[in-house]
Amino acid sequence: MAEVADGSVVDARYSVRGRIGSGGMADVYLADDEHLGRQVALKVLHRRFARDQQFVERFRREASAAAGLQHPNVVSVYDRGEHDGTYYIAMENLPGRTLRELLRQEAPLSQERAINFGIQILNAAGFAHKRGVVHRDFKPHNVIVAVDDSLKVTDFGIARAGASEMTETGSIMGTAQYLSPEQAQGKPVDHRSDLYSIGIMLYEMLAGRVPFTGDSAVAIALKHVNDVPQPLSQLRPDIHPVLEAAVMRAIAKDPAHRYQSADEFIAALEEARSAIRAGGGGYTEGWAPVAPPEEEGRKRWPWLVLLLFLLLGGAALAYLLTRPDQVKVPNEVGREAPQAAAQLVNVGLRPEIVRVKSFRPIGIVVSQDPTAGKTVEKSSTVKLRVSNGPGLTSVPDVTGKPLDQAIKILKKQGLFANTSFEHSSDVSRGLVISTTPVALSQVPVGSRVQVVVSSGPELVAVPDVVGKQESVARSTLEDAGFKVSSVKQDSTQPKGQVISESPSAGVKVAKGTRVTINVSRGTPQVSVPDVTGKSTADATNALKAAGFSVTVTEISGNASEAGKVIRQSPSGGSKENKGSNVTIFVGKKGKKKGKKNGGGTTTPTGP
């Protein structure tokens, strides 16, 4: 489609600044609402769809569905209309980045941050579901993340209100990686389809990847229908089992096996958060082998048996010719080391503990040799490799670097970034201001480093000081954080009054920006030229050149004064305001019948 040009005005109201996004159905532009004085995001339907009544209906439905969803986690829709052969929606313009951009930079997220994001998205979904609206296209691209980690859901472009089905039979809407199995099969969907998509988003937040990928949308859709997702614990060993269970239930194939409402899903996430904070789930900070009470007895019985064998002679020989007992090695991976060692002892095996670096919690068995299920002789040694944590690394110095580069540097050190933004007049927008812990600190591998990024200088609206006295205007601007320069100029406005300012009032600029105010010097006074004795034309030209307007009044005089200035008011040499009027009295060139010395004829002229 042809783009909406920068600077063009849509529907005599929205002045377009530039395109800020594009989707399958529409382009999104940043625009100024000239009626209400605010910035909006203007979604304009692609013209190739404008003649398709189905697409137009879907686009209109987005506006009506979203306009009825006034919620802190839902993007507000202000207006809709037609423009230049297509249709538009005006909605809230949000600072921040999409969840897709955040995950690309920071995934996997910490468990509590993922829970926080999930609950906010579910709050938006639940609010819509209670009003009969199914979003049908939940994905990270449609979630905006503010600098304080608050979220808003946008793009109700394929939301379905009520029970009416407006898509073609079998058509698949939405991004394939987040489709529910019923969407992938083109079946009717309800609110539980949204819960599945949100579950996939949570899976990605925690694992750093979606559960199903493929070479085409069809291949991915088929996996949603047929394949079982890999357990989160295999991709992220530190995940709490309660949280893993909550997410895996949300992405069950059968809608009846999922949560039946957003509120139920939220309750499960809150339970997981409580379990994480309580330190539940069977994980410990460290471990020490614990011998069962009967261990000492176990240590003595081989000697007693040996003595018995020596005494019995033939019986001992018979035993030596008998094959030793065989046992199956139990699975100890994922268990705490003390319990794993005790179980091996109980089945007649000897545990050997080897500490290894691992991202699994300290004290958890990460592997074993022989593997589980293998048959071995009793008293055989089973080597248990137990996590000793990931080891330590130094926090690199990333101050002054672009965020993307800083994240890459941290990842090379085995660290992850949590980002926050704050205004700075000293550090350019997009560069790192500081980190916590600070550079060169020793932290465990896999730790998260808080990275503070500059969002540039704080933008402040220029106060309106036109009409104020210079001293008041200067104080107002300086109190708002601006530098002030003043320029004096002639004006008909009272002396000392601000005539104009640049940048103009209301424009948002960085604190510390210099604002120039133009201050009236008042109306200047100039000397009135003495034009007595001059011809009318010469006198008029001289007065106009000095900045005065001229009124010519003819009066009677003697013959030598005809056509010349006899007198003037104000008189020559006096000081008058520039632009004021000077009247010249010029002798008449002829006599009028019936009068000897009558009044004059007045003719005004401009300056």
The residue ranges of every structural domain in the chain are 1-93, 96-281, 295-387, 392-454, 459-520, 525-605
Which pLDDT band holds residue 601 (cuts at 50, 70, 90)?
A: low
First to last CA, the chain: 56
Peptide bond into 72 cis (omega under 30): no
The stretch 108-121 carries a mean pLDDT of: 96
Which pLDDT band holds residue 444 (cuts at 50, 70, 90)?
A: confident
Q: Model pTM? A: 0.54
Q: Vertex 602, ends 600 and 606: CA angle to 5°?
A: 155
Mean pLDDT estimate for the chain: 84
Q: List the alpha helices (DSSP H) in 94-190.
A: 99-106, 111-129, 181-184
Residue closest to 487 by CA, chosen among 461, 520, 456, 514? 520
Q: How far apart are alpha carbons 392 and 185 in whole angstroms?
A: 48
Residue closest to 343 by CA, chosen among 283, 410, 389, 292? 292
Whether the predicted pLDDT of 304 surpasses 90: no
Query: What's the pLDDT tens digit per position in 270-298?
Result: 999 998 888 644 333 332 333 333 333 44
DSSP state of 440: T
Q: How far apart are alpha carbons 132 and 120 in whole angstroms?
A: 19
**459-520 CATH fold:** Trypsin Inhibitor V; Chain A (3.30.10)
Q: Are 151 and 201 in contact (CB under 8 A)?
A: no
Q: Are 195 and 125 in contact (CB under 8 A)?
A: yes
Q: How would you class 295 by CB atoms within 10 Å of its CB: exposed for 0-12, middle for 13-18, buried for 19 or more?
A: exposed
pLDDT the model gives residue 476 = 95
Residue closest to 117 by CA, chosen among 223, 199, 216, 213? 199
Q: Which CATH number fits domain 525-605: 3.40.50.800, 3.90.650.10, 3.30.10.20, 3.40.50.720?
A: 3.30.10.20
Q: How far apart are alpha carbons 153 and 74 in whole angstroms?
A: 5
Q: Is the dihedral of CA 439, 440, 442, 447 positive or negative?
A: positive
Which pLDDT band holds residue 158 (cuts at 50, 70, 90)?
A: very low
Determine whether domain 392-454 maps to CATH 3.40.50.10300: no
Whether the predicted pLDDT of 153 surpasses 90: yes
Q: Are 522 and 532 in contact (CB under 8 A)?
A: no
Whether the predicted pLDDT of 432 surpasses 60: yes
Q: How far apart are alpha carbons 594 and 14 in whole angstroms?
A: 72
Whether the predicted pLDDT of 468 surpasses 90: yes
Query: What's the pLDDT tens digit per position in 184-225?
Result: 888 889 999 999 999 999 999 999 999 999 988 888 999 999
Residues pairing with 517 in the sheet: 486, 501
The stretch 132-149 carries a mean pLDDT of: 91
Report the percent of the chain where pLDDT is more than 90: 48
Whether the predicted pLDDT of 536 surpasses 90: yes
pLDDT the model gives residue 24 = 67
Q: Do domains 295-387 and 392-454 have the same CATH topology?
A: yes
**Domain 1-93 CATH class label:** alpha beta
Question: Per the structure block, which two tokens stand in for 256?
Answer: 């009846």
pLDDT the model gives residue 600 = 58
Q: Is the dihedral of CA 59, 63, 65, 71 positive or negative?
A: positive
User: CB atoms < 10 A from the CB of 378, how many?
Assistant: 12
Q: Is the dihedral of CA 177, 182, 184, 190 positive or negative?
A: negative
pLDDT the model gives residue 410 = 94
Query: What's the pLDDT tens digit per position in 308-337?
Result: 444 545 544 444 455 568 999 999 999 888
Q: How would you class 487 by CB atoms within 10 Å of its CB: exposed for 0-12, middle for 13-18, buried for 19 or more?
A: exposed
Give the DSSP H or E segment for 319. helix 314-320
Q: Are 482 and 512 in contact (CB under 8 A)?
A: yes
Query: What's the pLDDT tens digit per position in 21-66?
Result: 877 677 889 999 988 888 999 988 887 777 777 777 766 776 676 7
Q: Are 73 and 121 in contact (CB under 8 A)?
A: yes
Amino acid at 177: Q
Question: Per the structure block, which two tokens stand in for 372?
Answer: 């589980």
pLDDT the model gives residue 78 = 86
Whether the predicted pLDDT of 544 surpasses 90: yes
pLDDT the model gives residue 484 = 95
Which pLDDT band holds residue 74 (cuts at 50, 70, 90)?
A: very high
pLDDT the model gives residue 545 = 92
pLDDT the model gives residue 296 = 39
Q: Are 548 and 556 in contact (CB under 8 A)?
A: no
Q: Is the dihedral of CA 422, 427, 429, 431 positive or negative?
A: negative
Residue closest to 541 by CA, chosen among 565, 511, 513, 571? 565
Question: Per the structure block, which two tokens stand in for 594?
Answer: 């019936």
The stretch 543-568 carries a mean pLDDT of: 92
**Domain 295-387 CATH class label:** alpha beta
Helix or strand or coil: residue 383?
Answer: strand
Query: What's the pLDDT tens digit per position in 475-494?
Result: 999 999 999 999 998 888 88
Query: What's the pLDDT tens digit per position in 365-398?
Result: 999 999 999 999 998 999 999 888 778 888 999 9
Query: What's the pLDDT tens digit per position in 452-464?
Result: 999 888 889 999 9
Which pLDDT band holds residue 352 (cuts at 50, 70, 90)?
A: confident
pLDDT the model gives residue 427 = 92
Which residues are designated catalytic? 137
Report the percent of the chain where pLDDT is more than 70: 85
Amino acid at 447: S
Superfamily name with CATH number, domain 96-281:
Transferase(Phosphotransferase) domain 1 (1.10.510.10)
Q: Is the dihedral of CA 542, 547, 548, 549 positive or negative?
A: positive
Which pLDDT band holds residue 255 (cuts at 50, 70, 90)?
A: very high
